[in-house]
Amino acid sequence: MHDLHDARMSARETRAAGGLALVYAFRMLGMFMVLPVLATYGQDLAGATPALIGLAIGAYGLTQAVLQIPFGTLSDRIGRMPVIVFGLLVFAAGAVLAANAESIWGVIAGRVLQGAGAISAAVMALLSDLTREQHRTKAMAMIGMSIGLSFAVAMVVGPLLTRAFGLAGLFWATAGMALFGLVIVLLVVPRAPQTLAHRESNIARQALAATLKHPELLRLNIGIGVLHAILMASFVALPLALVEEGGLPKEQHWWVYLAALLIGFFGMVPFIIYGEKKRQMKRVLVGAVSVLLLCELFFWLFGTSLQWLVVGNVIFFTAFNLLEASLPSLVSKVAPAGGKGTAMGIYSTSQFLGAAVGGLLGGWMYQHLGFAGVFIGCALLALFWLGFAATMREPPYVTSLRRPLSAEALADSSLVGRILVVPGVSDAVVVAEEAALYIKVDTQQLNRALLERELEEAPVTHSA
């Protein structure tokens, strides 16, 4: 089967993938930079309480969750660029509103408005419009890396920027990043010749109900929601614990996060390799959730000195990074053929909902129950998730393929049946409105010669 998987991305595709990865990175930087500083610096805002600071930390997730799928659908109708430009302007406006706020309510309003710039689905869809299928996985991996990198940078740069320019300066920097992202969209990212219908990156409304009820995807959606709830709730308490229990001034927190993220990043790599190579992703996932649970209990029992808080942060970010990297890969594996775009849309919505709930819960628990309440609450959340993770099936180790179909092939009612009996093919579906065939294959077991014969030796291109 002669796909073009080894061919290089064109200059236009590289520009599109690089430009959109930067847009994503700047936007995520703006979202996450407040995470390590709002609990400490936000106390100076008028009307601030721990519960309201928690709400400010997670508020963006609520509007993001509500608007992400509608914005993605709107981009199918009116085009990607108008939605992305509008979203970045709304995000910048939210940052400006927060920068000028003198009370905690002003910051909450700014964060809510920031979340309303929900462009994730539209950016992914534009990336599909601008890349050939054999390079789409590579291009999406670039965006995935930019998200991970921006989170790491935000955790370090956020405290440094706030130390130099205050909380208002941090939000002004966020607004500047959004506008810089807008410049990249308008001047660097190429124009797409047409808006493509593509189920590996777009949301198919007719598949929403079935995807929501899919038991294995439901476990993963609960997982990412709980993970981000734990992250937001923990960061209501951890920066304050570093000050009050560890005696570390808030201006110096950046080095704790830098050390934790660096060690955590390199610490997770062997587990990812083991899980994929040995096909033991369930074991890796359950292990990481268990470590997250133990880590919250560790904070509760031993988080009374700087040394132990730093150790706890390192363990926390190792488990967090591992889970953050594993879960989207598992969604791709578990999603039915032609269902990845819809599955990822629901997954992202679950992530943002988790962030909103986590911020609110973390703030409330800290206000009423102190550090112990937050850490025990997060441990209970992790235990809840562990119940779902432990009962999941080992995921299928499959790759998605997509092949455009001719009118003759579309009319062939026996095509899917013939494809499904090929060894190594786990799922196949014809999407008539796209004139395309989606297949999921286990590359280690696939009989390529037989599949090639059934597909009349036409190229099949990788898309996941």
Please give the domain boundaries of the chain with CATH numbers for all domains.
Answer: 10-194 (1.20.1250.20), 208-397 (1.20.1250.20), 399-462 (3.30.70.100)
CA dist 240 and 242 (Å) reads 5
Q: Is pLDDT above 70 for 359? A: yes
Q: What is the pLDDT, as a whole number, of residue 306?
A: 95
Instruction: Give the DSSP letter of residue 396.
Output: P
321-349 average pLDDT score: 89
Q: What is the pLDDT, as a whole number, of residue 201?
A: 66
Helix (H) or strand (E) holding 141: helix 133-187
Residues 6+ apart with CB under 8 A from 311: none
Model confidence band, residue 409 (pLDDT cutoffs 50, 70, 90): confident
424-434 average pLDDT score: 83
Q: How many CA atoms lie within 13 A of 226 on its CB side?
A: 24
In SS3 terms, 183-246 reads as HHHHHCCCCCCCCCCCCCCCCCHHHHHHHHHCHHHHHHHHHHHHHHHHHHHHHHHHHHHHHHCC
Model confidence band, residue 400 (pLDDT cutoffs 50, 70, 90): confident
Phi, psi of 141 (to 5 degrees): -65, -35
271-282 average pLDDT score: 92
Q: What is the pLDDT, as a whole number, of residue 7?
A: 64
In SS3 terms, 79-109 reads as CHHHHHHHHHHHHHHHHHHHHCCCEHHHHHH
CB count in 10 Å sphere of residue 45: 20
Q: What is the pLDDT, as a whole number, of residue 290?
A: 98
More confident residue, 460 or 295: 295
385-399 average pLDDT score: 91
More confident residue, 149 or 378: 378
Model confidence band, residue 459 (pLDDT cutoffs 50, 70, 90): very low
Q: Is pLDDT above 90 for 195? A: no
Residue 400 in 3-state DSSP?
strand
CA dist 201 and 437 (Å) reads 15
Q: Is pLDDT above 50 for 463? A: no
Share of the chain above pLDDT 70, in %: 95
Q: Is pLDDT above 80 for 462? A: no
Residue 413 in 3-state DSSP?
coil
Q: Over the stretch 29-56, which tens digit does the pLDDT of each residue have?
A: 988 999 999 999 999 999 999 999 999 9
Q: Is pLDDT above 60 for 58? A: yes
CA dist 259 and 256 (Å) reads 5
Q: What is the pLDDT, as a whole number, of residue 175?
A: 96
Name the residue among 205, 234, 196 with its Cα closest to residue 365: 234
426-446 average pLDDT score: 83
Q: Over the stretch 215-270, which tens digit does the pLDDT of each residue have?
A: 999 999 999 999 999 999 999 999 999 999 999 999 999 999 999 999 988 999 89
Token pair for 192:
């797409």
370-381 average pLDDT score: 97
What phi-psi label fits residue 94: left (phi over 0), alpha (psi between -120 and 50 degrees) or beta? alpha
Name the residue among 4, 17, 22, 258 with its Cα closest to residue 128: 17
5-20 average pLDDT score: 83
Q: What is the pLDDT, as a whole number, of residue 338?
A: 80
Name the residue among 318, 374, 369, 344 with its Cα closest to residue 57: 374
CB count in 10 Å sphere of residue 408: 8
CA distance to 7, 8, 61, per residue, from 350 (Å): 36, 35, 9
Please answer whether residues 248 and 143 qualify as being in contact, where contact means their C-beta atoms are separated by less than 8 angstroms. no
Q: Is pLDDT above 60 for 3? A: no
Model confidence band, residue 444 (pLDDT cutoffs 50, 70, 90): confident
